[in-house]
Amino acid sequence: MTMTKAAVVVITAFFTTVMTQDMKLPPRFIVQPNRQYYFKVDDATFTQELPCRAKGIPEPYYEWKKFGELLSVGTRGWNWKPNGGGTISINGPDFSDEGYYQCLARNTDGMVAVSTVAFFQRARAGAFPYNQTVETKVVREGENVTLVCSGKPQFPYAAPNPTIQWELYTPASGSVKETQAIMADDKRRQVDQSGALRFAFVTRDDSQPNQQYRCSAYNSLLKLSVFGSPVKLSVDSTNPLTVNAPKLMYKTAPEPSSGPSVVFLKGQNRTLSCIFAGKPVPTIRWYKLDANGRLMNPDGIVDKTQNLVIQVVNFDHEGTYRCTGSNPGGSQSAEIQVAVEAAPFWTKTGRPKDTNVTAGDDFTFECGTEGIPAPDKPKFYSNGVELDLSQPRIVYDEQEPTKFTLKNVSKADLQVFQCNVSNKHDYLYASVYLNVLLRTQLLVEPEQNVSYEEDNKPTNVRFNCSAKGDPMTPLTFTWMYNTPETDKWMPLPAGGPYTFIMDNEHAVDLDISLEKGSVHAQYKCVVENGYMPAEVLATLWNENAGPTSISIDPFLPVWTLVAAVATTLALSLLSSVVIAVIVRRKRRQRYADDAPEMNEELMQTPPAGVGSYEIPLQMNNGTSLSRSLHGENEVTPPAGVGSYEIPLQMNNGTSLSRSLHGENEVADDVPMYLEVPTLNTEIPRTHVRVHAEIGSGSFGQVYMGEIYNQNGQGEWTAAAVKTVRDPHDSALVKDLKDELKVMQILRPHPNVVTLFASCTRDGGVPMIILEYLPNGNLQTSLRNDRARNKAVYNNLYGASASLTSRDLMKYAVDVANGMAFLSSMSILHRDLAARNVLLSDDKRCKVSDFGFARDVIESHQYEMKSQGRVPVRWMSPEALNDQIFTSQSDVWAYGVLLWEIVTLGCIPYPGMSAEQVMRKITNGYRMPRPQHCSQDMYGIMLSCWEGAPNARPSFKDLTSSLNELLVADYDVLTFGEFEEALYDNVDKCDGDEKC
């Protein structure tokens, strides 16, 4: 601490000091090979790549292994792809190239990332047993008949799996003269899952002179068909059947090794099939039975192809299914038992993530998975080498084989750990970077007690605070104050008697000007690096003043100073590593009408006569009333009217009803995060101008407007003014005020709409003043772009389109980022959709309209009570069925928003009514992958649509996954494959739903 009469250097604006420092980051894959590849043998024109690319500091180098042995790339067959990172390619592979391949990315410190295993498999086309003798089947007209390939109800082995087709053809001189394919949608003639052709009934047209039936197995890679033996059908029409009762010809049967049940694998798309004979063709209905044998869907599901398609199998699909075939001759039923198994998947703890551990602490690596059958014990690796779990510092219990603990970590323990878990279906692999951080240490502490006498008062008092921390992590210095009057620590505002002085990147001092007033308080310097804070107290005492309180202007901006000695990972990967010293400005607290004191800048008033604008307000009787937003003679709802009560869980488990209005609160013993300090955002109405309406809904209206002195320069700034449609509706007024209360606890975030100010306490029409975003909402922007570029998106790559794949991915990342922030503040959205995302001038997405669904304290749930229009197509099963909204239901809605982005603003579940959507979602239906959407992107959507809410990722996880796709060097969306016809003219939905 120093006392001086001289002036000090004042920090008055944002500044940055840049230093360069070595940084090391482990290899991280941005592109990996797929699990399966097929190749053609002895075809010099055939080329295959196995992609592999990682990023890290220093830049990684690559190795490949085949069957676990190092592959000599460049010596025979396989070669490095120029500028392809670790990608290898081969021309004209032969039999010896078949095998299992794996890519390893290493850096000079020995840290390694290990890719998925790719099976490089030779394409094959097996042959049917062939008999040149033509088999003839004689059947009575109207009866059913089955034709099988070459006398066997099965098709030959091939890689990849072949497609079985049947055709009616006329042989002529050893060549095919005429061919008629049996179409897949032919109700009377169907090919079952074993490859047999089944006729529900035959007609005389099925038997033509010189015509024969034959089956073929087509290999799409080899472009080769192999044919089965021919069969001739002879139909006796002398005594035809006119009506034939349904008879089961085929149903999906279990594999011999799977017992009595047909086994489906979680996540796959599967089909159950029942084929009934009969004349006329039977109508097939599908039912599911509960555990007691009762029908769960009494009306059944009708499918014209006699199949039941299950998209994205989950555990809810397990059980007994009944198929019933009916026609005028009668009916017949059959049952199929379905069991659902699963490849390993992460438990509720989720995929292991990179971990920061403070030196001296313990590190636990848990690789928790489930699966059916249960996965084997995990295998653990360190930098790609199997880990010796018997090491002295490793604690491993065979009874808990999914985890181990490394004791007392140090900087020497920086490494990449991996785990591998498998069952008979597949394996699961994860890599975790262990980063060891140093604790924050105070180097220079402020003196704990400083006193002075009024008649010998120094000009300034300076408290010194210096610290050091891990060189890879930003240091955050925060000065706080506490007074005897409040006994509550609060961030110290910059301005008035207080100045923060940055001596260097490790020190931020507090300078107090005693000439600007009597200052008496306790101060605290808090230094943290995000993992281990350090703090120290100091007291400044005026001997003459006695125990008086500090006088702090509540409208001064609060500053937090950050000595950043590392920049973010994403930027450091693209450029040299920098260390930034940053002063971050927290949200400016707005001033109130009745503030006792105001600094000179904020006391400026707008020119006379401006700011008083009239807008029409609809009265309940439908007439229009011209009413001033300044609120003269305004009628306000009576206290307590429309006060929406929600249950709050107390610590003892009992429920406390508390009004979001805050009047007449029942008890003070509420969870701590209800006490988050809110900003005072009220301003005089004379500081607001209201212009034309720019948007409206069932409950509110939004006007183009301006706010005075928002930037502190005495100028008018464009803003959006949000108010209620009917100010006499106390419920609408309360909703708007509840939205304001939510926004008042938020600090500014680049992907959330910013609150400027409010006018709600003076009896006038309530208004919320928000930042103005001129580019409108994301839904409209996407649709406009699709309309402008319809022809472009149907051409390869869409090179001339105004939106690129990267633009759309950036939109997705922005929204996930904004929602991660809101969920971290325990705020639910409840209506997340592209229409509620706004676009800034620089095309940044900002989440809006989230205020009506505040987190409901400990349960993190919100029960929907309103009966307004409902966004059915964005709602999760638990929201649709139980009206319960959680952060996980917001994640479901985000998956639908991703689909909106990918399809350029189309209405989800195209062609379906709201009722159909509700039924299908409840029955496990998920929207299929758009053809132009990569499997990786679609996989993120499906993870959001998991049936079990706890199985869905968090918004933080989604942000991480999408950022990985954003930096990937392949097109996540390929507009050349955009199926415009599928998404055209589907931008309308039912009138009673919100779209």
Whether the Cβ atoms of residue 493 and residue 480 lie closer than 8 Å to each other: no
Those residues whose C-beta lies under 8 Å from the C-beta of residue 950, and which sit 6 or more positions away, are 348, 888
User: What are the E-state strand segments in 108-196?
Assistant: 112-122, 124-125, 135-140, 145-147, 158-159, 163-172, 175-181, 189-191
Q: Which residues contact 460 (CB under 8 A, 6 or more apart)?
A: 3, 4, 5, 6, 8, 511, 512, 513, 514
Backbone angles phi, psi at 369, to 5 degrees: -135, 160
Other beta carbons within 10 Å of 778: 26
Q: Are 854 and 741 in contact (CB under 8 A)?
A: yes
Ranges of beta strands (E only) in 153-207 are: 158-159, 163-172, 175-181, 189-191, 197-199
The number of residues in the chain equals 995
Place of tokens 């021919």: 230
Residue type (1 letter), 365: F
Cβ contact 901:808 at 8 Å = yes
Task: Give the whole-angstrom CA distance, residue 306 versus residue 286.
Answer: 9
**Cβ contact 253:175 at 8 Å:** no
The two structure tokens encoding residue 285: 């209905």
Residues in a beta bridge with 117? 102
Surface-to-core class of residue 198, CB atoms within 10 Å of its CB (0-12 exposed, 13-18 middle, 19+ buried): buried
Residue partners of 911: CB distance under 8 A and separation at least 6: 986
Gyration radius of the chain over CA positions? 35
Query: Is-contact 659 643, C-beta < 8 A?
Result: yes
Find out whether 177 is annotated in a ligand binding site: no
Cβ proximity of 225 and 126 under 8 Å = no
Q: What is the DSSP string of 10-27?
A: ---S--EEEEE----EEE
Give how far Cα 485 sits from Cα of 144, 489, 525, 544, Å.
93, 11, 20, 18
Dihedral sign, Cα of residue 901, residue 905, residue 909, residue 913:
positive
Q: Are the CB atoms for 141 and 172 separated by under 8 Å?
A: no
Phi then psi for residue 482, to 5 deg, are: -145, 140
- CA pair distance 7, 894, nearest whole angstrom: 54
Q: Which residues, 6 or more positions from 818, have their beta carbon under 8 angstroms from its beta carbon? A: 749, 751, 752, 845, 846, 847
Task: Decide: 360 and 413 in contact? Cβ < 8 Å.
Answer: no
Q: 3-class secondary structure for 671-696?
A: CHHHHCCCCCCECCHHHEEEEEEEEE
Round to whole Å and give the CA distance between 856 and 660: 10
Q: Which residues are annotated as a binding site?
A: 722
Q: Which residues are annotated as a binding site for ATP?
A: 722
